[in-house]
Amino acid sequence: MSHWFLKYKDAVLDSLGVHLSKEDRILDFGCGTGHTVYSLRDQGYTNAVGYDMKDYLELRTPADRAYFHIADFPGNARLPYEDNSFDFIVSEQVMEHVQNQVVTLRELHRIMRPGGHALHVFPARYCLLEPHIHVPLGGVLGHRWWYKIWAMLGIRNKSQKGLSANETADRNTFYFVDGLNYVPNSCYEAVWRQLGYEHKWIDQETFDTHEQVFVRLVGKLNRALPFIGWMSRTFYSRQVWLTKKASQSLGN
């Protein structure tokens, strides 16, 4: 997890005009090591909890396990939370791994309170360098021959050091099928509308609140040339703000 949310949380939420109270119920969906939950709780958000399908937790004490729920989430399952449970949901580098995104987004919608919000941060579909396997356009060009070319050129992630080009290509091909699901932006927008979310790509807010001066300058340019934000979420990273409508029925 990149911890983008922790780094820019206050600035981005301020720019959106959203205030999280210390009593709000917050879910880190795909909590990984638990770092985000710990950080939020240390800041006084005592109702911050985490969910993940696999146990990557780095517990500070055995009692801290009560803050987390680790369980598989098959396609017909429900998340282990009541309807309208959470004021805010965040995920970082998670959505690109979800195989059945409609089921997951419907469940996240169910457990959000009406008027509640979610922030999802995840790589762009046409990311020039796929961040998990480090292959150029590796999230969309899912062909073994493509992975083999780059493996022959020496491209490896940390877990692939010392593997042959064929072994690396096989692993990347398997991972593309089993572990990646890069949905186009336009398809996301249609799904969000159908499920009852209001959505906002927060490219501008991301640019404006970034710690690097150059990125903030890009934000100023984006106000005049909005296609820069489109390019960012198409080829680099996506940050989307979802709000559960106050009253609607779920789409089929």
State both tokens at 105.
Answer: 């987004």
pLDDT of res. 76: 66
Q: Is the pLDDT of residue 248 over 80?
A: no
Q: Is the pLDDT of residue 187 over 70?
A: yes
What homologous superfamily is domain 4-123+182-215+237-244 in, according to CATH? Vaccinia Virus protein VP39 (3.40.50.150)
Q: Is the pLDDT of residue 189 over 60?
A: yes
Quote the CA–CA distance of 149 and 32 in Å, as a whole number. 32
State both tokens at 198.
Answer: 């209001």
Q: What is the pTM of this model?
A: 0.93
Smallest Cα–Cα separation from 132: which of 88, 101, 75, 178? 178
Q: Domain boundaries in the chain?
A: 4-123+182-215+237-244
Is residue 111 a contact partner of residue 81, using CB atoms and an 8 Å limit? yes
pLDDT digits (tens, 9 = 90+) for 70-118: 998 766 678 999 999 999 999 999 999 999 999 999 999 999 999 999 9
Lowest mean pLDDT among 2-6, 80-84, 112-116, 218-222: 2-6
Quote the CA–CA distance of 67 and 33 in Å, as a whole number. 12
